[in-house]
Amino acid sequence: MTTLAILGASGHGKVVADAALATGLWDKVAFYDDAWPAKTKNGSSDIVGSTASLFSLTDKPAVIVAIGNNNVRLAKQQELAAKGFAVATVVHPAATVSSSAVIERGTVVMAGAVINADVKIGHACIINSNAVVEHDCKLAAAVHISPGTCLAGGVEVGQGSWLGIGVSVIQLKSIGKNVMVGAGAVVVTDFPDNVTAVGVPAKIIK
Ligand SMILES: CC(C)(COP(=O)(O)OP(=O)(O)OC[C@H]1O[C@@H](n2cnc3c(N)ncnc32)[C@H](O)[C@@H]1OP(=O)(O)O)[C@@H](O)C(=O)NCCC(=O)NCCS
């Protein structure tokens, strides 16, 4: 029995579990979350321990972090890797990924996503259901591309940024680090680090 450990027993964690099991690479998932022992199930899978119990395992399973907060997800992944855990990459078999795309460890690609030629995706990213990442895009670590969001060719997204559900970004635009782009926005200009932008066309509100 090959088990994938998932840190973070969230709704997102359930989707990661479904994707992981659909690959056939693992037979079972085991969640670790600080809600344990009060909470022992996430969907149909067991929560078997806390964050500390995962870190203390001597027989280290493959692991992926399913924490929604981008920077926390990356930090936990880096801590696990430093402890000698093998960090998995999960690509749902119903996603379409170009053979020339590069996807780093700890990233999940959900069902229906399309990742096209020469795309580079960093560690601990989430490419959510039905997202489209067109040719030559470059995503740094810990980026979340929400369901149905489309990046045209050559878009760059900085570390820790989150593009909400149904966002469109036109070609060759650059989005900085730790940027939040609100649901449904259309990005037609570059954005600097640490801003929130919403609307059509997207404008900075914070
Ligand atoms: C952008 C966002 C982060 C702002 O959240 P917030 O900081 O709590 O901001 P508020 O809800 O206080 O809204 C601030 C203003 O922006 C407007 N606004 C918020 N989100 C907006 C959006 N997506 N599009 C257009 N306007 C938006 C609000 O109406 C409000 O306007 P007002 O000041 O005129 O009343 C949030 O609304 C959002 O879009 N989150 C993305 C959620 C998502 O995609 N989830 C997918 C999970 S996989």
pLDDT tens for 45-57 read: 999 999 999 999 9
User: And the tokens for 132?
Assistant: 């489209």
Q: How far apart are CA 106 and CA 199, in angstroms?
A: 31
Q: Is 206 contained in some domain? A: no
**In this predicted structure, what is the pLDDT of residue 1?**
72
Q: Catalytic positions, please?
A: 135
**In this predicted structure, what is the pLDDT of residue 144?**
98
Same domain? For 123 and 195 the reply is yes
Residues 33-91 have pLDDT tens digits of 999 999 999 999 999 999 999 999 999 999 999 999 999 999 999 999 999 999 999 99
> Which percentage of the chain shows pLDDT scores above 70?
100
Q: What's the CA-to-centroid distance between 104 and ligand 1, angstroms?
A: 30
Q: Which of 73, 88, 103 is the last residue of a domain?
A: 88
In the chain, the number of structural domains is: 2
Choose one of 144, 180, 205 to mutate for the ligand 1 pocket test, by most ligand atoms within 8 angstroms of C-beta.
Answer: 205
Atom of ligand 1 nearest to the CA of 146: 48
- Model-level pTM? 0.97
Domain span at 181: 89-200
Mean pLDDT value across residues 137-154: 98
Q: How far apart are CA 189 and CA 175, in angstroms?
A: 9
